[in-house]
Structure 1
Amino acid sequence: MLNVLDNAQLKQLESTLYGVIEDYEVDAGQQRQDNDDGLLATFIAAKRLEGCSDKTLIYYERTITAMLNGTSISATRIRTEDLRAYLTMYQQERGSSQITIDNIRRILSSFFAWLEDEDHIVKSPVRRIHKVKAAIRVKETYTDEELETMRDQCPTSRDLAMIDMLASTGMRVGELVKLNKADIDFGERECVVQGKGNKERVAYFDARTKIHLRDYLDRRDDDDPALFVGLYAPHRRLSIGAIEARLRQLGAALNIEKVHPHKFRRTLATKAIDKGMPVEQLQHLLGHQRIDTTLQYAMVRQTNVKNAHRRYIG
């Protein structure tokens, strides 16, 4: 009001304002909470618009909310030092792995980068927090013997078809549970799967899978459109948890360690690389957005390096 009022008028305005607000108590904490809730809600809406799945959005919201509660500082006032202290405390209290801490860092980076883009803050405080280095561990794959043992010992045609689909397509279990019978093209031995971010791609299966899948579908007497359903009435679509539990049961019965859906995907990728499939084609086959993700599979087997050394160097 300096451009409108003179000093005497400003003094009178100040006195009047004090008289009006002296009976009110301002809850700064509640203001901060309301502001942060609004920013977080808008951020989640923006990520939903970008195509993030509900599962991803829930993970984002929980991670960011935990950080805001853990620091007790407004999102627009958090500094790099505050976030470093929070991540250190989080790791110490929970014994979290380096990978978990880096996942949190990555989510916070996305949130604060959005705040910067939307002009809520001048600069993201996560910029100076670098990627957390984690030890690279060789992840296990199924041996040919283990795959054949699982196929031979499957108690139902459904389980056999399910294992073959995972092993021959390399699809994610979340993609498998979304498949309908109508999605299968037996003539071309392919199916359209809905991957991350609701992106569709074509997945391919082999002749053995075609035979076992047809046999399973011919035995079904329900009218559920889902490709894989429960064995007993009302034969509803299988969930991710149900498939994971079934595979664990099968692995325990056959004395095969760590039987889970993603291991089939890793096994297919490893075999493809061993046989010389170009990484760019494997990336498309697996539905990876970044080739860096696909390249992780190229480091699975040390025997690749050993054989190459013997072939080219001696």
Structure 2
Amino acid sequence: MKNKDALLEFKQYLIVEKNASERTIENYIRDVQAFFNYIEANHQIDQIDDIHKEHIRFYLKTLSHLSASTVSRKMVSLRSFYKYLLKEEIIERNPMESFDLPKSQKKLPTVLSKQEVNILLNSIEMNDFISARNRAMLELLYATGIRVSELVSLTIYQLNLKMKYLNVIGKGDKERLIPLTDYVCKIMGKYIYDYRNPKLDFKDVDLLFFNNHLKKVSREDFYAILQKEVKKTSIQKKISPHTLRHTFATHLFENGADLRSIQELLGHSDISTTTIYTHVSNEKMIEDYNKFHLRSHKNIEKESDKNEL
């Protein structure tokens, strides 16, 4: 089978059988296509059966300049592709079984303090459609911890202000109900009734959030919105849309929420993914201990300085 034909069938498999998200499909196909581009350009191979372990090893060496996480993602894509080929009996052996993923040091996510969250959210005054939409999006993101892809895909029917919950469609089309506070319901109500609905002017649009042309706000659009709003504040941290999701989970954990509850709210299929927030909180605890404990190194130095005066 030709490489390009195998890739087309793999894409169909991801869509129909795996029900993978649009982003997952895009990443897998792009990664496998990059592998084929290398194989065809450097080894003149366009047939799946002619690709061997050595070719894959040579390809992986060309990725040495990339971060461990990027290499891992590309390898995961190739693993999935070759597992599919083996399952469909297109190949007899899986050459990817010989390669281990690179070990990468887990980087703790950036988290905003409670003061920084207030600075960011309160800096956005709701005085027109765009400012009201931006405030509502950021408030809802911090209030629920949902993914940005889930946020920008929300419809008006997924929000129930009367019952105070948000019905989220997550990865694999799994639904989860997230409770909402009175405060965020008030913000959402103001956005919807004072700005969203008048902007629509009775046009039939189900999206909860949209741009000036009544079209969906993309993930890239939201990133730009967030960066614009952060620049207006005194916050110096490098913030991504995922920062508010991490912040939501960390603040819940610090205030005593159970890890299992946080897992459900975030839509994590495996609780081991959620445990990273215990590490974030532990790091903050150590930082506070060193900063505030009477006998910490810094405070002893301060005391010594006073005694010398």
| Matching of residue 288 in structure 1 with residue 263 in structure 2 | no
Q: 1:154: Cα distance to partner?
A: 0.2
Q: 1:305: Cα distance to partner?
A: 6.6
Q: 1:55 matched to which residue of 2?
A: 23
Match of 1:226 among 207, 213, 235: 207
Contact 2:108 2:276 in 1 (8 A): no
What's the secondary structure of 1:202's corresponding residue?
Answer: strand
User: Identity of counterpart residues, as a percentage?
Assistant: 26
Q: 1:43 matched to which residue of 2?
A: 10
- Tell me how far apart the structure 2 counterparts of residues 237 and 69 of structure 1 sit (CA, whole Å): 33
Q: How big is each residue's C-alpha offset from its partner over 1:164-208, in whole Å with a ceiling of 9 and x where there is no partner?
A: 100010001111111122221112211112212232222222221
- Tell me how far apart the structure 2 counterparts of residues 38 and 46 of structure 1 sit (CA, whole Å): 12
Q: How does 1:64-103 map to 2 (within 5 A)?
A: 64-72=32-40, 73=45, 74-91=47-64, 95-103=65-73
Q: 1:302 matched to which residue of 2?
A: 282
Q: 1:131: Cα distance to partner?
A: 1.9
- Partner letter of residue 186 of structure 1? L
Q: How big is each residue's C-alpha offset from its partner over 1:250-296, in whole Å with a ceiling of 9 and x where there is no partner?
A: 11111323233211100111122223333332222111223332223
| Matching of residue 165 in structure 1 with residue 154 in structure 2 | no
Q: 1:138 matched to which residue of 2?
A: 108
Stretches of structure 1 lacking an aligned partner (at least 5 in a row): 1-33, 310-314
- Partner letter of residue 149 of structure 2? G
- Partner letter of residue 100 of structure 2? H
Contact 1:182 1:225 in 2 (8 A): yes
- Tell me how far apart the structure 1 counterparts of residues 269 and 48 of structure 2 sit (CA, whole Å): 30
Q: 2:166 matched to which residue of 1?
A: 191
Q: 1:306: Cα distance to partner?
A: 4.6
Q: How does 1:200-215 map to 2 (within 5 A)?
A: 200-215=175-190
Contact 1:251 1:258 in 2 (8 A): no
- Tell me how far apart the structure 2 counterparts of residues 240 and 109 of structure 1 sit (CA, whole Å): 27
- Tell me how far apart the structure 1 counterparts of residues 37 and 216 of structure 2 sit (CA, whole Å): 38
Q: 1:119: Cα distance to partner?
A: 1.4
- Tell me how far apart the structure 2 counterparts of residues 293 and 180 of structure 1 sit (CA, whole Å): 28
Q: 1:158: Cα distance to partner?
A: 2.3
Contact 1:102 1:132 in 2 (8 A): yes
What's the secondary structure of 1:225's corresponding residue?
Answer: coil
- Partner letter of residue 62 of structure 2? M
- Tell me how far apart the structure 2 counterparts of residues 131 and 292 of structure 1 sit (CA, whole Å): 19
Equivalent pairs, count = 271
Contact 2:209 2:216 in 1 (8 A): yes
TM-score (norm 2): 0.81
- Partner letter of residue 58 of structure 2? A
- Tell me how far apart the structure 2 counterparts of residues 89 and 64 of structure 1 sit (CA, whole Å): 15
**Mean CA deviation greater in 297-306 or 234-243:** 297-306
**Mean CA deviation greater in 154-163 or 184-193:** 154-163
What's the secondary structure of 2:139's corresponding residue?
Answer: helix
Contact 1:76 1:121 in 2 (8 A): yes
Q: 1:151: Cα distance to partner?
A: 2.0
Q: Stretches of 4+ moved more than 6 A in 1?
A: none
What's the secondary structure of 1:76's corresponding residue?
Answer: helix
Q: 1:304: Cα distance to partner?
A: 6.4
What's the secondary structure of 1:201's corresponding residue?
Answer: strand
Q: How big is each residue's C-alpha offset from its partner over 1:35-65, in whole Å with a ceiling of 9 and x where there is no partner?
A: 2121111111111121112222122111111
- Tell me how far apart the structure 1 counterparts of residues 101 and 271 of structure 2 sit (CA, whole Å): 18
Stretches of structure 2 lacking an aligned partner (at least 5 in a row): 127-131, 290-309
- Tell me how far apart the structure 2 counterparts of residues 40 and 237 of structure 1 sit (CA, whole Å): 30
- Partner letter of residue 247 of structure 1? L
Q: 2:302 matched to which residue of 1?
A: none
What's the secondary structure of 2:77's corresponding residue?
Answer: helix
Q: 2:296 matched to which residue of 1?
A: none
Q: How big is each residue's C-alpha offset from its partner over 1:233-260, in whole Å with a ceiling of 9 and x where there is no partner?
A: x443322222211110011111323233
Q: 1:269 matched to which residue of 2?
A: 249
- Relative distance call for 1:305 and 1:83 in structure 2 (3 A) is farther
What's the secondary structure of 2:176's corresponding residue?
Answer: strand
What's the secondary structure of 1:245's corresponding residue?
Answer: helix
Contact 1:274 1:304 in 2 (8 A): no
Contact 1:171 1:203 in 2 (8 A): no
Match of 1:217 among 166, 187, 192: 192
